Amino acid sequence: MKKELMSIEHMILIGSTGRNSGKTTLAASLIRKWKGELSVIALKVTTIEHKNGKCPRGGEGCGICTNIEDNFELVEEINPNKNKDTSLLLSAGADRVYWLKCLNDHLEEGIECFMSKISKNTLIICESNSLRNVVLPGSFVMIKNICNDSIKKSAAEVMNKADFILENDFTNKIDDFINKIIIEKDSEGIRVKK
């Protein structure tokens, strides 16, 4: 029996077909758009196949896949001045930024831990492909990297679930896309409309 997805109506989920496609650029633009009107929390999710496994990108890697001790780790970014995605999201104006490093089989457990810290009156801007397998966000946008025809496995699994597909040459079209996102707020909380 297929498990029901966790509904997170106050989340805009951003996926991509490959690395360096513009997820963080889009996320930062979304944060800047709503930071004055709403509380905005950013989340970056990194899924890991195996503890102490080899880097899926080859070579020595960055150490993420080899240093996770539990099934997941949730870290808050506090430094907006580093050249990391999470720091860029913080410097864009997010109230808080988290990085969820998680074994694939424990993604639901990791997102439940994150959600236990977040109010329904908060807009969540999240970067992840794999998270779409366990959550139903208010809106899911997939960025298609037009410079590279290959598609990450995690993107191929969820691309058909995207509400929007943007090509990563979107710099001139980013405002048009952002204006398509509608956010409703009432006593129940925030909802992102497709």
pLDDT the model gives residue 54: 55
pLDDT at 26 over 60: yes
Domains located in the chain, CATH noted: 6-193 (3.40.50)
Candidates 123, 131, 144, 136; CA nearest to 44 is 131
The pLDDT confidence band at residue 177, using thresholds 50, 70 and 90, is confident
Q: Average pLDDT, stretch 84-106?
A: 95
Task: With cut-offs at 50, 70 and 90, classify the pLDDT of residue 154.
Answer: very high
**Which pLDDT score is estimated for 50?**
66
Percent of the chain at pLDDT > 70 equals 88
HEC string of the chain? CCCCCEEEEEEEEEEECCCCCCHHHHHHHHHHHHCCCCEEEEEEEEEECCCCCCCCCCCCCCCHHHHCCCCEEEEEECCCCCCCHHHHHHHCCCCEEEEEEEEHHHHHHHHHHHHCCCCCCEEEEEECCHHHHCEEEEEEEEEECCCCCCCCHHHHHHHHHCCEEEECCHHHCHHHHHHHCEEEEECCEEEEEC
| pLDDT value, residue 190 | 93
Q: Please give the single-letter amino acid code of residue 159.
A: M
- Residue 187 neighbours by CB under 8 Å, 6+ apart: none
Per-residue confidence band for 68, with pLDDT thresholds at 50, 70 and 90 = confident
The alpha-carbon radius of gyration of the chain (Å, integer) is: 16
Q: Do the beta carbons of residue 107 and residue 158 sit within 8 Å?
A: no
Q: What is the pLDDT of residue 60?
A: 55
Residue 13 has pLDDT above 60, yes or no: yes
Joined together, the tokens standing for residue 39 give: 């509380």
Give the pLDDT of residue 114: 98
Contact indicator for 24, 174 with CB cutoff of 8 Å:
no
pLDDT at 51: 64
Q: Which pLDDT value is given to residue 22?
A: 87
Angle CA(7)–CA(23)–CA(136) in degrees, nearest 5?
Answer: 10
In tens, the pLDDT along 116-149 reads 999 999 999 999 999 999 999 999 999 998 877 7
Higher pLDDT, 51 or 142: 142
Looking at residue 176, what is its pLDDT? Answer: 83
